Amino acid sequence: MAPLPLPALFGILTAVGLAAIYPTVSPVVRLFYPKPFGDHQNDACSVIPTLRTCEQLWIDQPTGLLYAACAGTPEARKTWFPCTDSWDAQGRSSEDYLAVVDTRKGGTWEEKTTRVRLDGFHGLFGEGSFTSHGFGVWQDPTSSSDTETIRLFLVNHRPSIDYAAPGGPTLVDNPAVNGFNSTIEIFETTLGSDVAHHVRTVAHPLVRTPNDVEPDGPDSFYVTNDHHVKTGWRKELDLLLPLTDVVYCGSEAEGCKVALKKAHYANGIASHANRKDPTLPRTYYLSQTASSAHLVLQPQTDHTLSLLDSIDIPLASDNVYVSPVSHAAYFAWFPNALQLTSKHFKSPREYGSPALVGRVELNDPRKDREAFFGEKYRVARVVEDDSTDPESPSGITGAAVDEVDKVVYMGGVFSEKTWACKVKDVRGEKVKF
């Protein structure tokens, strides 16, 4: 038999290769393909000018106190942000901050907003700077005081330091190759206070590429790693393969351990206490940006996370906020993930990206007839905007919902603005895919 011509052989090999990778690539393409439903409950949105480039938001339902982890400007965020391969450690911003907003106070947003001073936190070289990303808040589920003590758990993308440098400690050269040393910083404060006191820094080899953190107690937490390696081309594999994980860290004596393996680009994580008995294990929601599977998890006695449910929603997701009152999970979804990652993240001032905040909750057999037909979860959209107006919500990566005043707060990691949208129904409009 004569050998195949090179073009024919190449064609066959290409076809075989495409057939082999299709099952892996196809779900991601489907997830990132634009899926707008149309504008919804977006006609009463206003800009909060005091909160800029805020990756994540959290709100206390009884008081309406809104917390946000932010940077100063999109340009400041883009100097040093390992998650998106921004590696200028020397030029990294010192503008990142944690803010608290008294949303139910009268006056302007400037009068409502306070930047929280991080007392006792010294940063790398005593300058007190940190690089914000996700964060979590611990509240005692048995407490009802408006002046309660809370703990804040902040992701800090800290550059690595060369302590053996001839001239003394200095930043490691070429972090794009040599990596970085992200940490979780724990602070204690009182709800609404303008100061938070540093408790401790958690640095561990398993906390590789932290994206979001959710406390499991006053001194313990779960943290998502959004990549399985810190640097290099292998990071790109995390969009195609379930290589990332969720890590549990306890007290200093306990250390850290892998709690959930094979997550597909682990991103936002949030939880609520058991409705009947707050001393029982919490329920966790995990978003996987490269998978339609939104996971519902429960901690075991060894602190690993077991799967309770997997909710199939064909939208890429980022951060999640879980209401301690309704136990509903509010996700920041990407109706056009391709636009977000290829244009908005690169040039946020030039390109907007459609915004969508969704709500996922257990169907109530007393209210939702779908429960009778075996539909366990209700999936709805609360706010959606096509982001064609420069003042409209755009590039949303995190949301928090005030279920008392019916306001949806939305921010984006590269968005110049944060938005407050007054809605008629926080349960939103049910969607089907």
Q: 162: which residues sit within 8 A by CB, 6+ positions away?
A: 169, 170, 171, 172, 173
Question: Strands 117-119, 195-202: parallel, antiparallel or unpaired by DSSP?
Answer: parallel
Q: Is 42 annotated as a binding residue?
A: no
Q: Is 277 annotated as a binding residue?
A: no
Q: 34: which residues sit within 8 A by CB, 6+ positions away?
A: 335, 336, 338, 339, 354
Q: Which helix (H) or strand (E) holds 353?
A: none
Tokens 């407050």 identify what position? 420
**Which amino acid is located at 291 in the chain?**
S
Write down the pLDDT at residue 164.
Answer: 80
Q: Which helix (H) or strand (E) holds 271?
A: strand 266-272
Write down the pLDDT at residue 19.
Answer: 47
Provide the residue-wise pLDDT of the chain in tens; the chain has 433 residues: 444 354 543 444 444 443 445 455 667 777 888 888 899 999 999 999 999 999 999 999 999 999 999 998 999 999 999 999 999 999 998 889 999 999 999 999 999 999 999 999 999 888 888 999 999 999 987 776 556 899 999 999 999 988 888 887 889 989 999 889 999 999 999 999 999 999 999 999 999 999 999 999 999 999 999 999 999 999 999 999 999 999 999 999 999 999 999 999 999 999 999 877 887 889 999 999 999 999 999 999 999 999 999 999 999 999 999 999 999 999 999 999 999 999 999 999 899 999 999 999 999 877 777 766 678 999 999 999 999 998 999 999 999 999 999 999 999 999 999 999 999 999 999 998 7
Q: 10: which residues sit within 8 A by CB, 6+ positions away?
A: none
How large is the C-alpha radius of gyration of the chain?
A: 22
Q: Is 267 annotated as a binding residue?
A: yes
DSSP letters along 211-223, please? EEEEEEETTEEEE
Q: Where are the domains of the chain?
A: 33-61+329-433
* Paired strand residues for 100: 67, 114
Write down the pLDDT at residue 9.
Answer: 39
Supply the pTM of this predicted model. 0.93
Question: Quick check: is 122 catalytic?
Answer: no
Write down the pLDDT at residue 147.
Answer: 64
Structure tokens given for 222 = 């779960």
Q: Is 318 annotated as a binding residue?
A: yes
Nearest-angstrom CA–CA distance, 360 and 66: 21
Closest CA to 56 of 136, 143, 172: 136
Q: 201: which residues sit within 8 A by CB, 6+ positions away?
A: 183, 184, 185, 186
Q: Is 211 annotated as a binding residue?
A: yes
Catalytic residue among 40, 122, 133, 272: 133
Write down the pLDDT at residue 16.
Answer: 45
Nearest-angstrom CA–CA distance, 433 and 293: 13
**Which amino acid is located at 183 in the chain?**
T
Structure tokens given for 175 = 């972090």
